[in-house]
Amino acid sequence: MQQKLISIVVPVFNTEKYVERCLKSLLSQTYANLEVIVVNDCSPGNIEELLQPLMHADDRIRYIRHEVNKGLFQARLTGADLAQGAYIAFADSDDYVGTNFYSGLLNRAEKDLSDIVIGQTVIHKQNGEPGYRPGRSCKS
Residue 41 · residue 71 · CB < 8 Å:
yes
- 36 has pLDDT over 90: yes
Q: 3-state SS string over 64-131?
A: EECCCCCCHHHHHHHHHHHCCCCEEEECCCCCCCCCCHHHHHHHHHHHHCCCEEECCEEEECCCCCEE
Residue 79 within any structural domain of the chain: yes
Q: Predicted confidence band at 63 (pLDDT cuts at 50, 70, 90)? A: very high
CATH number at residue 35: 3.90.550.10
Q: How many domains does the chain have?
A: 1
Domain that holds residue 109: 6-113
At 128 the pLDDT is 72
Residue 135 within any structural domain of the chain: no
At 118 the pLDDT is 85
| This prediction's pTM | 0.89
Residue 103 within any structural domain of the chain: yes
Residue 100 within any structural domain of the chain: yes
Residue 61 within any structural domain of the chain: yes
| Among 78, 60, 61, 57, CA closest to 69 | 78
* Residues forming beta bridges with residue 38, ordered by sequence position: 10, 63
